[in-house]
Structure 1
Amino acid sequence: MADTAVSLVLQEICQFLLEKRTLLTGIEKEFTDIKDELESIHAFLKDADKRAADEGGVGGADEGVKTWVKQLREASFRIEEVIDEYNMYEAKRVNNSGFLGTFQMIMSMMTSMSPRHQICSELQDIKSSIGRIKERSSRFEFKSESESGSSRGTKAPRIGDPRMAPYFIEETQVVGFESPRDELVSCLVDGNNELMLVSVVGMGGLGKTTLAKHVFDSQLVKRHFDCRSFITVSQSYKMKELLIDMIKKFCKDSNEHIPKGLQKMDDETLITHVRKYLATKRYLVLFDDVWKESFSDEIEHALGGNDEGSRIIVTTRMMQVAEYFKKSFAVHVHNLQPLSPNKAWELFCHKAFRGQCPNELEEMSNEIVKKCGGLPLAIVATGGLLSTKPKTMSEWRKMCKNMKMELERNVHLTSLLRILSLSYDDLPYHLKSCMLYFGIYPEDYTINRKRLTRQWMAEGFVKYLHDERRPLEEVAEECLTELIQRSLVQVSRVGFDGKVKSCQVHDLLREVIIRKMKDSCFCHLMHEDEEHVTVGITRRFSIAAISNNALTSTSNSGIRAILMFDKGQFPQHFLHEVSAKFKLLKVLDFENSLLNSIPDNLGNLFHLRYLNLSHTKVTALPSSIGMLVNLETLDLRQTQVHKLPKEINKLAKLRLLPVYYRKYEQHYSMLNFTTGVQMEEGIKCLKSLQKLYFLEADHGAIKLIQELKMLRQLRKLGIRRVRGEYGNALCDAIQEMNHLESLNITAIDQEAILDLDFLSAPPPNLRVLNLKGRLTNLPNWIPNLNYLVKLRLGLSNFEDDPLGSLQNLPNLLRLNLWDDAFSGECLHFQVGGFPRLKELDLTRLNRLSSVSIDEGALLCLEHFRFNNNPQLKVVPPDLQHLNNLQFLGFADMPAELVDSIDIEKDGPCHWIINHIPLVLIRQKVGTRFHDYELRPIPTQSNV
């Protein structure tokens, strides 16, 4: 990871020199000299990192190389600190430019070495240190990237490599691939004669090669094709050699003579020869372990143009590689999944016991299998290791308890980690840093996408990929998408619009990450049962056991991030000590902790960019918050902070300000369930603000809303307690927000009328709209929101059915009509209406007694919920037309309706919902929001 550290600091230096056009005398030259030295070293760093991490050779990695890499990484850390200290010094110098400030600075310089001289002295020492590091590099004979490029990356497996095993696995040994095998065989032998490519995608160790080889060798497939060829690609392939190898294997498979002179042919002649040879053959070629999108372009001319029913199989860890083939071929993508628990158990028993698991070992064996997370390679490696051990309780208990240790030291399992490491090693440097962040979170932790990507942004991992025309969040989310497509990150939850909500990494891949973190001093973990102490300087603390005193006792003041996962009581003065000691902090995250107050010295953290206090017991912020001039994210969700100090308006770089409290401990009320925050006059200074929710409008009234007009970067605005007389001013403000994507407006009470007709030209990119309050009519601009994906209307009291006006919204995916949004008796969904709608929610429509759905309406609907509609006593018979419906929910509905679909009570209307996979009845059992019980209704689809 020296390459990552140096690459990041080189970008820091370049940006620093670009922005600081008036550096103090002597400092610019020192920085330039250091940059030049680092650039001359940079070309060799990939080789140095590879050799420092290489544990496959005799005796492991060269300790001298490890030391050299560590010294270079720590020099990079020191440079980062100098840049941050200079920025802090310069900010103080600007702020103290008056007479009193200048006098104070002179007095300070008289009593100690001036900050300028300290910075110059540190830079000179760093420059000397880097010079010595550069001199020592000559003894290791590192290769530059251009010299080692052809040999970098993974090569085809050799004897002894665990990746060789799938090539020779017997059909009787293949477990858990029956369904994907049948799917892929069907793709190969069925269909038309058009050339088609089948791509098997999944993370390392998932069994892609095993499955593909199993299909390749099936008798049905062998009989179907004239000739077949199995080619291992890996990262270091040469296309000419692959094509020659492919021809030789085709000839061997079809008992033909191998053409002479293949090696002497130039590329064009060889490709022509291959095309001619394959033109009249129905062939099958399997390209195993493809890493690059460009591979598709390289094989297109050699293999294209065949209409004999030929097929290509590709295995890859990268979804973008699989998708890129669509440019040249008809493609079927099979996203390989982990083994199901019963198949994982079957495979483990086969490897560990050659049959049945003894009863006394069953419980611990199940725990071991669970730790493998459905990864066939892990199950095979672990089962193979245990097959060599005595079948005793003590031996199994030892393995179960010390599996992480065994991963590092046992030859059966270290090869597993090496295979999983390949995907990490292939990442560009900025994605390596992003990937390592997953190791900061505790084991089995489901990670919120927004939280993670905002931390990346604060750390600067995606800063230099940023294009001013796009928000930084978008760039960070693209980085997460790439990690997902590389099969390194697993998606845990997806929103209705297809966006990732949360994610995690496989437990075994997390072990790889933690080892990389330790080697690169990325983070010191203080987690129960898994503390990992880094050697030398560390940059981050992850704390899940706050009783550990390593944080306050450390001499390392250059910490950049502290993430707290401990849910116990905080020691007194903990945060005060953190703010006093770690002045270079950029990330401070206390989400879901028992933190209850913020000390006034928080303002010491000049460099802080991300402060997460969500779901804590904090009730107020100190006025020193105004000193955090670099703060970009202030997360106050689900806190009791109801008023922000006026100093918050000094934070010109603040971009994200989510602040609200939802009263889950009470019964739901649309107007009072959520409370927002009061802000003082001056919010117009927050020119960088992109997300603000929820602002209490009645505190500052018209003046506050008029100031919103100046916040032209807003992408998400939530505003509550809006009075009727604010309508004109609010429309004027929204009119200026051309970037607005999400708008949430709530009236102050049920009688206040939200008059939004003044909005003649709504924000063109609006995607989410929530209006909670009485509307005189449906604003005529809403049906014209072509990018709207979510619409929620509440308390609107429309007397006429609004569906006719809304049904042509082209991209609407979710529609909620709540709390008498419609005050009539019948809703009618017309044929062709709501062409893309996936989710529909009808809640507390007190007069609604019938819902009719034309055949051909709501064709894409997947989720339909009815909640507390007291007059709807008959299940809508037209539900039978909704063929794509996956979920139907009835919450607190009349007993007549519920009984009519209950098969246990011989409900006469059960046939209407019998085709729906999941039907749930929800009944309130208490006064709090979450006090309810669920009861599924059996249907033909779920029995």
Structure 2
Amino acid sequence: MAEAVVSPVIERLGDLLLNEAKFLSGVRVQVKDAHTKLLWMRAFLKDADAHVRDGDERVRLWVVQVRDTSYDLDDVIETYVLKVVSKRNGRGVISVLKRYACIFSEGIYVHKIGAEIEKISSSIATLTSSLQTYGIRELRVKEFGETSSNNIQPQRDLRRAYSHVVENVVVGFDKDIEELVARLIGKENPHRHRVISICGMGGLGKTTLARKVYHHPQVRAHFDGFAWASISQQCVVREVWEGILFGLTSPTQAERNEIKSMGNGEIAKKLYNLQKQRKCLVLLDDIWTTSTWDGLKAAFPQDETNSKILLTTRIKNVAFHVDQNGFIHEPRCLNENESWELFQKKTSCFGKDPTNSKDNERMGVLGREMLRHCSGLPLAIIVLSGLLSTKHTVNEWEEIKGNVMRYITKGREHDDSKYSGVSSVLGLSYDELPFYLKPCFLYLAHYPEDATIQVKELCLMLVAEGFIPSRGASTDSSEDVAYDCLSELVERSMIQVEKWGLTRKMKSFRIHDLMRDVCLSKAQDENFLQFNDLRNRGEEPLKSVSTDIRRVAIYFDRIYDFLPFVDNINSALRCLIIELVMSQKKLRHVINSFLMLRVLKVSHRDPLKLPKEIGKLIHLRLFSTSHNTLVENIPSSIGNLRCLQTLVVKSYVDNVKVPNVMWKLEQLRHLSLPYVHGIPAFSKWLRLTNLRNLQTLTGVQLKYLDRNDFLRLTNLKKLAIRVDRNLERIFQDPTTVTFVRLRHLQIDCSEERVRVDIVPVILSYPQIYKLKVEGTIVKLPEYNQFSPNLIKLKLEYTHLKDDPMPTLEKLSSLRVLSLHECSYDGNEMVCSKGGFPQLESLQITYLPSLEEWKVEEGALSSLHFLRIDCCLKLRRVPDGLRYITTLKEMEITSMRREFKERVEEGGEDFYKVHHFINKCE
């Protein structure tokens, strides 16, 4: 992890040296020297981390010193910028007079800072020179996108599996086994999948599943030869090839000697030809890296063959790399009943004594309670079962229950079996991460248990913290690189996607409870982040914080005097996430205590005035308030935050005052202002003169914008704007107001009492894929006026007079359509044959005049989901629904009882909907 700490500091210093030399007046030489020494040290850190994992306590202490020294250097530079450079940014006569008045003392301070940097550089040099003592060698630093090759042999050896060890107790894998067997023997198309991969997080039972398939009678009858290779040991290609060849041929001793005398090319060719000539099954268990396969692949046919490869891996990218056309199977965690079944079968003492029925009943209750902590992970259930098998009384089970998480994750002391604990198994995934992914994973520690984590928000925070490496000449934004980092965690099975977006990009994800426990533990060990959740905890005190901690997340659900806790936290805190009832006075205290913050997230339930002191946080990159925060004002001092990249202020307070200072924030990329009934209170104009990097702009009104400013926002990707009848002031010539990068557009014209023509706005954004229109409009644009890329469309309060379906059904890319809240005032809609060829989701909500909806045969041919809500005059579902074979689910809510009865079993319209799931509420 030290490498992950040092690398952002190196990048920070490099940016200062290259792009912001003016900030280093007086200390540039010292900073350059420290930067050079850190670069040299980083080359050794990968090997040092490997020594730490091998249990070398001396090296662990050395790594801690490296980490702390890097933090010290970062703090000194940040302090220098805070105390010296901020004074130089002052303007006006008074600022100039103050500048000259303190120039002598400032010179002394610069000298002092230079001396501190030199002292830290000397410490770095001393630490580097001691490397030889510990046997640490220089390793090439991995570039972004490469796979780590850390030496984690001792941990991997514990997970080594053997083909002959058959697990008799297997639960929840019946369907998995059936599907994998069918893919392997491939009766219909035997050549369809050359490689079958089982991919998932550690402890999920991938090897157990592979072993059951490997020994399955149908598989044994189908293939002529079998070989099992455990790749979890340090992969020596020659040894793996020999082992596979021995398994496929069962050679005599003389034949073995002959094989061993062959050259690498000869043995690879022999193995290759054998798989071409016969039907062979080779199982490659626990393969971690693409480079491992690159070393092995010469011995495996790449073209059509009757032989197959079955492999297990935690990393999906490895499976894709082995065969892009292969089949990837991802086992799920066990459900509650399956977990209980596995627990009962593995816990040898449970229920064996029928005379102790009361004890058995109590132990059953305790067992189910403890199982919840396993979250369906087979390894965790097996660890818990093995532990309880040695405990025969209710009292002993009660004792285990009190410390169940410690027992499950850490395992029993002095037990070196491969099932001794879950943390060591799941921790392998963390150890294997390249340095740039480790802080991305540890950052997840600030989210509460079972939280749905929004990808966009997390990407912005990672960028603000400086954890995202650059890609050299790449045109990808930092946010794009952050997304790719999170995608790597998905590929490595460390997080699970919960929701995909319309463009097949990840929108949200979750982290398994036990993987989160690993995350929390690692974050605490590294002084990276501390998580405090006092919701529903009564008077439980806050945990003490290490004086070196850099990030703190605090969640409250009541008034709590947390200021003594704050006073004990390191003043060099970089990130604070705080959810509580808080006064302006307390927030002011927090701000004054942590002037080096880069990320500040606040959630508050009562009206809150942001103090002017927020302008002191000149290092702040991200400031946001949650959706339930009642912000009353934004102080003008926020214009001092020249490093700010993301400003998100959500509030339900009317007329939030927004000062005209946003133009000063030249680094701003994402600006989301309060949108209380769409009316934030700007003083007069919202100047955006210098915001050339702006990608997101939401919560603004057209009448407050200057046209010239607006035209300069050529990097906008998302725009949510309230327009008025005078929109030609901005959109007078759509051919000159084209924003080709924009993908997401929201138009709100609900403030106007007359109909607004939105066609000029639509024509100005030719590449959007997501559009929302709210408010009364003159007419719906023609289908060829919409973007050809439009995927999602939502209409609300548009009060259309004409049926929108004849226009919208011609949008060939449209996949999601929502007609909400009086979007259409007519009484009939018709979807014609061939219309909506790609539409997957259709929602019709509160169309009070709609009486008849017709769907012709051949319309909506791709529809998966349909929702009809509060259309009280609609008499029946369309007859054409019976022709839509793709429809999987229909929800009917807030409709008349007669309508619901018609579609329920036995109703007049049931024949139209019986082929898919129908939910009536």
Q: Same fold (TM over 0.5)?
A: yes
- The worse-fitting range, judged by mean Cα deviation, of 635-644 and 517-526 is 635-644
Cα separation, 2, equivalents of 1:754 and 1:680: 23
Secondary structure (helix, strand or coil) at the match of 2:344 reads helix
- The worse-fitting range, judged by mean Cα deviation, of 472-481 and 635-644 is 635-644
Q: Cα distance, 1:593 vs. partner?
A: 5.6
Decide which of 517, 535, 552 is 1:511's aligned counterpart. 517
Decide which of 220, 223, 240 is 2:221's aligned counterpart. 223
Residue 488 of structure 2: aligned partner: 482
Among the aligned pairs, what percent are the same residue?
Answer: 29
Cα separation, 1, equivalents of 2:766 and 2:841: 23
Is the Cα–Cα contact under 8 Å of residues 583 and 605 in structure 1 kept in the other structure? yes
Residue 880 of structure 1: aligned partner: 882
- In the TM superposition, 1:397-476 aligns within 5 A as 397-406=398-407, 407-408=409-410, 410-411=412-413, 415-465=421-471, 469-476=475-482
> Cα gap change, 1:676/1:852 in structure 2, threshold over 3 Å: closer, same or farther?
farther
Residue 575 of structure 1: aligned partner: 587
> Cα gap change, 1:781/1:724 in structure 2, threshold over 3 Å: closer, same or farther?
farther
Query: Is 1:285 the equivalent of 2:282?
Result: yes
Secondary structure (helix, strand or coil) at the match of 2:668 reads coil
- The worse-fitting range, judged by mean Cα deviation, of 542-551 and 594-603 is 542-551
Which residue identity is paired with 2:731?
A: L
Secondary structure (helix, strand or coil) at the match of 1:285 reads strand
Query: Is 1:650 the equivalent of 2:654?
Result: no
Cα separation, 2, equivalents of 1:440 and 1:616: 19
Is the Cα–Cα contact under 8 Å of residues 527 and 549 in structure 2 kept in the other structure? yes
Q: Cα distance, 1:624 vs. partner?
A: 1.2
Residue 909 of structure 1: aligned partner: 909
Decide which of 306, 311, 316 is 1:309's aligned counterpart. 306
Q: Which 5+ residue runs of structure 2 have no aligned equivalent?
A: 353-359, 535-539
Q: Cα distance, 1:82 vs. partner?
A: 2.6
Is the Cα–Cα contact under 8 Å of residues 523 and 534 in structure 1 kept in the other structure? no
Secondary structure (helix, strand or coil) at the match of 2:603 reads coil
> Cα gap change, 1:377/1:32 in structure 2, threshold over 3 Å: closer, same or farther?
same
Query: Is 1:246 the equivalent of 2:244?
Result: yes
Residue 668 of structure 1: aligned partner: none
Decide which of 593, 596, 600 is 2:608's aligned counterpart. 596
Residue 316 of structure 2: aligned partner: 319
Residue 82 of structure 1: aligned partner: 76
Query: Is 1:622 the equivalent of 2:621?
Result: no
Cα separation, 1, equivalents of 2:515 and 2:607: 32
Residues 202-257 of structure 1, C-alpha deviations (whole Å, 9 max, x = no match): 000000000001110122211211100011113731323222211111112x8897
Cα separation, 2, equivalents of 1:225 and 1:190: 12
Cα separation, 2, equivalents of 1:305 and 1:111: 72
Q: Cα distance, 1:884 vs. partner?
A: 2.1
Which residue identity is paired with 1:684?
A: L
Cα separation, 2, equivalents of 1:256 and 1:305: 31
Query: Is 1:632 the equivalent of 2:645?
Result: yes
Cα separation, 2, equivalents of 1:186 and 1:250: 22
Q: Cα distance, 1:139 vs. partner?
A: 1.9
Residue 202 of structure 1: aligned partner: 200
> Cα gap change, 1:521/1:760 in structure 2, threshold over 3 Å: closer, same or farther?
closer
Q: TM-score, normalised by structure 2?
A: 0.90
Is the Cα–Cα contact under 8 Å of residues 24 and 116 in structure 1 kept in the other structure? no
Query: Is 1:70 the equivalent of 2:64?
Result: yes
Residue 338 of structure 1: aligned partner: 333
Which residue identity is paired with 2:714?
A: R
Q: Cα distance, 1:454 vs. partner?
A: 1.4
> Cα gap change, 1:706/1:902 in structure 2, threshold over 3 Å: closer, same or farther?
farther
Q: TM-score, normalised by structure 1?
A: 0.88
Residues 490-543 of structure 1, C-alpha deviations (whole Å, 9 max, x = no match): 223344554433322112112211221122110133334796656552211121
Residues 451-497 of structure 1, C-alpha deviations (whole Å, 9 max, x = no match): 22211111011152476623332222221111111100122334455
Is the Cα–Cα contact under 8 Å of residues 595 and 618 in structure 2 kept in the other structure? yes
Query: Is 1:183 the equivalent of 2:200?
Result: no
Residue 353 of structure 1: aligned partner: 348
- The worse-fitting range, judged by mean Cα deviation, of 241-250 and 806-815 is 806-815
Residue 723 of structure 1: aligned partner: 724
- The worse-fitting range, judged by mean Cα deviation, of 684-693 and 93-102 is 93-102
Q: Cα distance, 1:558 vs. partner?
A: 0.9
Which residue identity is paired with 1:41?
A: M
Decide which of 692, 697, 710 is 1:687's aligned counterpart. 692
Q: Cα distance, 1:428 vs. partner?
A: 1.4
Cα separation, 2, equivalents of 1:609 and 1:405: 37
Is the Cα–Cα contact under 8 Å of residues 602 and 625 in structure 2 kept in the other structure? yes
Is the Cα–Cα contact under 8 Å of residues 230 and 285 in structure 2 kept in the other structure? yes
Is the Cα–Cα contact under 8 Å of residues 783 and 811 in structure 2 kept in the other structure? no
> Cα gap change, 1:580/1:11 in structure 2, threshold over 3 Å: closer, same or farther?
same
Residues 395-437 of structure 1, C-alpha deviations (whole Å, 9 max, x = no match): 2232222123333462457542111011111111121000001
Is the Cα–Cα contact under 8 Å of residues 862 and 885 in structure 1 kept in the other structure? yes
Residues 580-634 of structure 1, C-alpha deviations (whole Å, 9 max, x = no match): 1211100011136657232211111001111111221221122211111111111
Decide which of 769, 772, 776 is 2:771's aligned counterpart. 769
Residue 896 of structure 2: aligned partner: 894
- The worse-fitting range, judged by mean Cα deviation, of 399-408 and 106-115 is 106-115
Which residue identity is paired with 1:186?
A: A
Query: Is 1:142 the equivalent of 2:148?
Result: no
- The worse-fitting range, judged by mean Cα deviation, of 689-698 and 148-157 is 148-157
> Cα gap change, 1:605/1:715 in structure 2, threshold over 3 Å: closer, same or farther?
same
Cα separation, 2, equivalents of 1:792 and 1:606: 40
Cα separation, 2, equivalents of 1:878 and 1:753: 34
Q: Cα distance, 1:350 vs. partner?
A: 1.6
- The worse-fitting range, judged by mean Cα deviation, of 132-141 and 407-416 is 407-416
Query: Is 1:562 the equivalent of 2:588?
Result: no
Q: Which 5+ residue runs of structure 1 have no aligned equivalent?
A: 55-60, 663-671, 922-934, 936-943
Cα separation, 2, equivalents of 1:799 and 1:827: 11
Residue 926 of structure 1: aligned partner: none
- In the TM superposition, 1:110-149 aligns within 5 A as 110=104, 114-145=108-139
Secondary structure (helix, strand or coil) at the match of 1:590 reads strand
Decide which of 571, 579, 587 is 2:599's aligned counterpart. 587
Q: Cα distance, 1:48 vs. partner?
A: 1.6
Is the Cα–Cα contact under 8 Å of residues 436 and 468 in structure 2 kept in the other structure? yes
Secondary structure (helix, strand or coil) at the match of 2:299 reads helix
- In the TM superposition, 1:468-867 aligns within 5 A as 469-495=475-501, 497-528=503-534, 535=546, 537-544=548-555, 547-549=561-563, 551-554=565-568, 556-565=570-579, 567=580, 569-570=581-582, 573-591=585-603, 596-614=608-626, 615-640=628-653, 642-661=656-675, 678=682, 680-685=684-689, 686-698=691-703, 700=704, 704=706, 707-720=709-722, 722-727=723-728, 729-730=730-731, 732=733, 735-749=737-751, 751-758=753-760, 761-780=763-782, 784-867=786-869
Which residue identity is paired with 1:81?
A: D
Q: Cα distance, 1:551 vs. partner?
A: 4.0
Q: Cα distance, 1:129 vs. partner?
A: 1.6
- In the TM superposition, 1:912-931 aligns within 5 A as 912-917=912-917, 919-921=918-920
Secondary structure (helix, strand or coil) at the match of 1:269 reads helix
Residue 396 of structure 1: aligned partner: 397
> Cα gap change, 1:109/1:706 in structure 2, threshold over 3 Å: closer, same or farther?
closer
Query: Is 1:368 the equivalent of 2:373?
Result: no
Which residue identity is paired with 2:120?
A: I
Is the Cα–Cα contact under 8 Å of residues 161 and 207 in structure 2 kept in the other structure? no
Q: Cα distance, 1:339 vs. partner?
A: 1.1
- The worse-fitting range, judged by mean Cα deviation, of 12-21 and 790-799 is 790-799
Which residue identity is paired with 2:367?
A: S
Is the Cα–Cα contact under 8 Å of residues 584 and 610 in structure 2 kept in the other structure? no
